[in-house]
Amino acid sequence: MIVFLIGYMGCGKSTVGEILANKIQYRFMDFDNYLEDSIGMSITETFKQKGEIFFRKQEYLHLEKLLELDHYVVALGGGTPCYGDNITRLTGANNAKVIYLKASVNTLTDRLYPEKSKRPLISHLDSKEALNDFIRKHLFERNYYYNQAQATINIDNLTPQQVADNIIEILS
């Protein structure tokens, strides 16, 4: 089985994914890091040099390869399930479980604001209020896809360990 973690940036997919993989003795993959290695440049540079359409095509192509794996926990990029038919491919795979790590807008704002300079999608936002508004709008657009996951965990007020334990309960 492959456990795919989806959700907005800052919800803890990579942190929880590593903990979960260790607990259930699966391998862990951060899909963004995998794409950067495969493409040969950072996601920020890929967006600048080749554009978002090129990047989304790469996501699509490499996602197909991931569906052939077994015993993996994969933290997907926040936008991965929202393009093309990616969410349908993920939820329709016999060997996959898709789990949405859901966080409130305020939790995401508090987590992302201190590190916004490292995130090209939000680096241009100059206040917490602007970031909050951006996240609110973006989540509205993406919730249709995120809500198609086979399970949802509200991560607000939970530690990454607790989120991983909740996922283990869902998987068993």
Q: Where are the domains of the chain?
A: 2-171
65 in a known ligand binding site = no
The annotation status of 13 as a binding-site residue, yes or no, is yes
- Report the pLDDT averaged over residues 28-52: 91
- Residue 172 is labelled as binding a ligand: no
What token pair was written down for 13? 């997919």
* Tens digit of each residue's pLDDT (9 = 90 or more) over 85-137: 999 999 999 899 999 999 999 999 999 999 887 777 888 899 999 999 999 99
> How far is residue 169's CA from residue 172's CA, in Å, rounded to a whole number?
5
Strand order in the sheet with 72-75: 27-30, 72-75, 2-6, 96-102, 151-154
117 is in an annotated binding site: no
What's the whole-model pTM score?
0.93
With a pLDDT cut of 70, the percent of the chain lying above it is 100
On whether 84 is known to bind a ligand per the annotation, the reply is no
Confidence band of 138 (pLDDT split at 50, 70, 90) = very high
d(CA 13, CA 80): 13
CATH superfamily of 2-171: P-loop containing nucleotide triphosphate hydrolases (3.40.50.300)
pLDDT at 122: 86
Q: Would the annotation count 11 as a binding residue?
A: yes
Is 97 one of the annotated binding-site residues? no
Q: Is 128 annotated in some ligand binding site?
A: no
pLDDT of residue 33: 94
d(CA 90, CA 163): 21
pLDDT at 20: 98
Please state the rounded mean pLDDT for residues 143-151.
Answer: 96
What is the average pLDDT across 35-40?
Answer: 94
pLDDT at 65 (0 to 100): 87
Task: State the pLDDT at residue 17.
Answer: 98
What angle do the packed helices 105-112 and 128-146 form, to 10 degrees?
120
82 is in an annotated binding site: no
Annotated binding residue at 14? yes
Amino acid 137: pLDDT: 96
Q: Give the pLDDT band of residue 81 (cuts 50, 70, 90).
A: very high
Other C-beta atoms within 10 Å of 113: how many? Answer: 16
